[in-house]
Amino acid sequence: MTDFHEKQKERFCKIRTHQLNAYQREAVLDASPACVVNANVGSGKTTVLIEKILYLHFEKKVPLENMVVLTFTNKAAGEIIQRLLEREPSVTEEETARFGTFHSVALFLLKNCLPLETEGWTRDFSVMDPDEETELALGLAAQRGLKIKYKNRLKKRLEQERTSWQQGKTSRYGDDLFQLFPLLEQEKKRQNKMTFSDLIQVSTALLRREDNCPEWIIVDEVQDSDVLQLDFLEALGTDREGERRSRLFAVGDPNQVIYSWRGTTENMFFLLKHRFQAKELSLPVNYRSNASILEAANRFLQFGGKIEGARRTQERIAVRNHYDPFQEAEYLADRIEKLHADGLDYREIAVFYRLQRQAEVLEKVFQRAGIPCSLSLKRTLGDVPVLDYLVKILKFSVNPADSQTGIQVLADRITGFAGAVEELQGQVCPQWLFDYFDLREQLHPTSADCERDAEEVMRLLEHICRFCQGRDGTFMENLRRFLDSSMLYGLEFLKEDEKEREGVRLMTLHASKGLEFDTVFLIGMNQGLIPLRCQNFEQEEEERRLFFVGITRARNHLELSYYTNPGEPGVLEGYSPYLRMIPEHLLDWRELRSQEEKRASLQELRREVAAGMRRRQQEQKPCKEEHCPEKSYGEETDPEVRKIRRARHRKYGEGVIVGGDEMMIEVEFVSYGRKQFLRALGEVEEID
């Protein structure tokens, strides 16, 4: 061993001794044939994974190329490799070729290691996304005159019913879908294309006939796996006789299962433990959140023991009531400005919500207030037409058998592309690609997104050139690799690093998983939003886990808020039942209570005014319905409302009065739309 490796080994042993707690150290040193680690939120699971890899490499002399490290996002795989490089800069790309997502590792094995030709594909196959498969299936059904029900749900049906077809069952909908499956498989082989599911299933089938097992399989976020991925794990670690040859080390948290719509269920962690007869260890100590947040989070735990906190600071969780989302956005803008003025970086602040549409008003108000913000919104290639067009051109350029894509683009430019690249001897630049494919014609100058689309096209072309010219092999070979990655990760390769994002982060609860911030605002804490209305017990449990994930992203400050007037169909006034599950001593209702001391809550006042109106009506002599029609809200029954057509509000500015009665008044504002107010509160000032 070189002096460098000796020093690294000595450094590793020192770090392991002084920086890992007893639970983490036990997991790193464990040598069981199979071990699953139940890692509580914020317990340092990524640190444990990195230290496990270093321990195996330096202490146990396991070559990195004899490990398979599986993650569920490209970002997580990149973080593991980056942290590994920080500890040992000499690590090469070849050594970590099998560090990645399930799909990227399956792709690598199919392209480089497994006898794919026996299954009807060649190694230069391309990857297709689910939308492409759906289009192909619809085209085949039309050609063959097959009757397919629920075509608008065909993408989901292809995904869900393929296993039933493979097991020899019949379609539960009584249509011709199961006759379509063999035609679809045949056509994909003819076009030399695979779907994401094909990558896992075909590699699993081939692995079962191979004996080349890695020494170690290490899995991150194992709770997010599905049955097909567990089959892949099993095939990867066993020989053709079914004997287990690989050791398994898996880390996960069953309390963070929030992707049931992807095929994941809360029992995957325990299913893996049972299937591999694995030893279970735990990482119970949270190093992220303050004591109040963890005590609240413990009320939502469904699996495992109590979360232990390493921090003793105990700032109460703030609870705020807002009349509606507009008032809330104005409040958040003011609050965030004060936090920033006090020295808190905008990047350390996040606003979480349940539904993506809740971000619209936040983004507008923050932009108007000059607060930089970053909206976490997953985009696909299909969301940017010119990028989609470019990728289709390039896909057909490297795979002429892909006739479906070829029909959609210009054949003359495609067929000449490889020759033109060869003439340049690989010296391809972004501007040459832009001009060759005449991409300016695909940009619409009148579109609001024209400038942004043009920038993203050039970023994509620059990325392609860096990728293809920075690796061994020809430009066309590397281009094929790049396009496979683009299918697996969409626009992820175009995104800037999370740490470099500027501004306050706006994101759904689902998108917040894996992140952490100093201060978190979780909005919309109303029944019908958090939690959403659920149809069964499983959905209710997942909503609880989603809330658990959200509140445990905060390190120091957590604020929960709800609406008196949510303005969303199916969303109830008043706070979420989740707030009642949190112990009272952990919550700071001070701002709301001081408001209640001055006046009754708006909800209660509405009831009181309505009750008073009913009493007065009962005291009056009843009249016949035909002579006394019931007045409905919206009729301008108050003479004062008829005279005065404008009103002013402290936050919303001036607006036009469009309706009202003795109890309510409705005003339309230019920037905020129509708003309703109780007259008794004096929230609006009527003006001439």
Q: Annotated binding residues for ATP, as ranges?
A: 39-46
User: What is the spatial distance between Cα 110 and Cα 133, in angstroms, rounded to a whole number?
Assistant: 20
- Concatenated DSSP letters of 525-586: -STBBTTBP-SSHHHHHHHHHHHHHHHTTEEEEEEEEEESS--STTPPSS--HHHHHS-GGG
CB 188 within 8 A of CB 402: no
* 276: nearest Cα among 67, 27, 31, 34: 34
- Which residue has tokens 């408001």? 595
CA distances to 141, 167, 188, 454, 553 from 182, rounded to whole Å, are 12, 13, 10, 41, 46
517 backbone dihedrals φ, ψ, rounded to 5°: -145, 155
Residue 397's SS3 state is: helix
Residue 504's SS3 state is: strand
* 39: nearest Cα among 50, 30, 48, 31: 48
* Torsion sign (Cα): 654, 659, 662, 663: negative
CB 293 within 8 A of CB 551: yes
CB 477 within 8 A of CB 323: no
Residue 5's SS3 state is: helix
* 349: nearest Cα among 358, 340, 357, 341: 340
Residue 478's SS3 state is: helix
Which residues lie closer than 8 Å to 128 by C-beta, 6 or more apart? 136, 188, 193, 194, 195, 487
CB 305 within 8 A of CB 263: no
Q: What does R_g of the chain's alpha carbons equal in angstroms?
A: 30
Please report, in range form, the residues annotated as the binding site.
Answer: 39-46
| Alpha helices (runs of H) in 552-679, residue ranges in sequence order | 577-581, 590-598, 602-619, 639-643
CB 576 within 8 A of CB 562: yes
Q: Which amino acid is at 567?
A: G
> Of all helices (H) and strands (E), which one includes residue 673?
strand 673-678
* 459: nearest Cα among 484, 439, 480, 488: 439
